[in-house]
Amino acid sequence: MKDFDVAAVVSGGASGLGEATTRALVARGAAVTILDLQEDKGAELAAELGGHTTFVRTDVTDPASVQAAVDEATAKDRPLRIAVNCAGIGWAQRTVGKDNAPHDFDPFVRTVMVNLVGTFNVLRLAAAAMAATEPGEDGERGVVVNTASIAAYDGQIGQVAYSASKGGIVGMTLPAARDLANVGVRVCTIAPGLVDTPLLGSLPEEARQSLAGGIPFPKRLGRPEDFAELALDIVEHGYLNGEVVRMDGALRMAPR
């Protein structure tokens, strides 16, 4: 395996899938900038990983905030070639509730803002920085890996906001890859199923077992390391582009 002698940005890199990806990239020699709102966790992780790992408190929905983080990454002693988008939030509410109350407007907007607009914000600013670098093998200048969810396809009851935000990420993967073809930047998206991150870790063991039991094979929750491995596979596979890859043990979610 080759070392990644490049700079990388990982949004949501302080926790869960982003943290696992940060660790995997650093283990392979990349100089990672962690973009996250969580100051304590982000700074702690950067200190633990040391070397060229840095943390920049970033709100992915804010153009100036992301630009500052990308600037920090491009100032490192190697070209920015990798951007992994893991920042995201969830929201659960029915379109019309039991008491006939409509879905709240603001959480829908917020969910789409963080998950979809935030992903695009990092994608566009990281890709612009990559476009300014010298090309490598095959004319490639970089790769962006986004995180959708199987909820983009099999959204459950109450997932209308979350699924809309993740469906948007699936939808933009191909046009973004096409847009960026002329600058040699690839774009792929991972659609994870149920992965054991702090989010699921808060559920009782019984509920976690029951979720795992519904997965065809392997009959276990995904691990953050499974996600990180796939993200790195995509980075290394120079012919993968414009594609969304489900990583879900063949799980197809039922309505509830």
Ligand X SMILES: NC(=O)c1ccc[n+]([C@@H]2O[C@H](COP(=O)([O-])OP(=O)(O)OC[C@H]3O[C@@H](n4cnc5c(N)ncnc54)[C@H](O)[C@@H]3O)[C@@H](O)[C@H]2O)c1
Given the residues 4, 55, 91, 162, the one annotated as active site: 162
- Stretch of residues binding ligand X (CB under 6 A), selected from 21-29, 74-82, 101-109, 191-199: 191-199
Binding ligand X (rule: CB under 6 A), the pick from 4, 16, 126, 230 is 16
Stretch that binds ligand X, among 24-32, 111-119, 137-145, 236-244 (CB under 6 A): 111-119
Cβ–Cβ < 8 Å for 226, 209: no
- Tell me whether residue 239 is one of the annotated catalytic residues: no
Asked if residue 89 lies in contact with residue 115, where contact means CB atoms within 8 angstroms, the answer is yes
Using the rule CB under 6 A, is 36 a contact of ligand X?
Answer: yes
Q: Nearer Cβ to ligand X, position 38 or 156?
A: 38
Closer residue to ligand X in complex, CB, 79/224: 224
Strand pairing class (7-11; 80-85): parallel
60 lies in the site for ligand X, by CB under 6 A: yes
Cα angle vertex 110, ends 109, 112, to 5°? Answer: 65
In angstroms, what is the minimal distance from the CB of 251 to ligand X?
10
SS3 52: coil
Alpha helices in the chain (DSSP H): 16-27, 39-49, 63-74, 105-112, 118-131, 160-179, 198-201, 205-213, 224-236
Q: Contact, 45 vs 117, CB < 8 A?
A: no
Among 6, 7, 8, 17, binds ligand X (CB under 6 A): 17
Min dist CB 138 to ligand X, Å, is 29
Specify whether the CB–CB gap between 140 and 89 falls below 8 A: no
Number of residues near ligand X (by CB under 6 A): 30
User: In whole angstroms, how close is the CB of 140 to ligand X at the nearest point?
Assistant: 25
Return contacts of 43-46, CB within 8 angstroms, 24+ apart. Answer: 45/13, 45/14, 45/19
Q: Which of the residues are catalytic?
A: 162
> Which residues contact ligand X (rule: CB under 6 A)?
11-12, 14-18, 36-38, 58-61, 86-89, 114-115, 118, 147, 149, 192, 194-195, 197-200
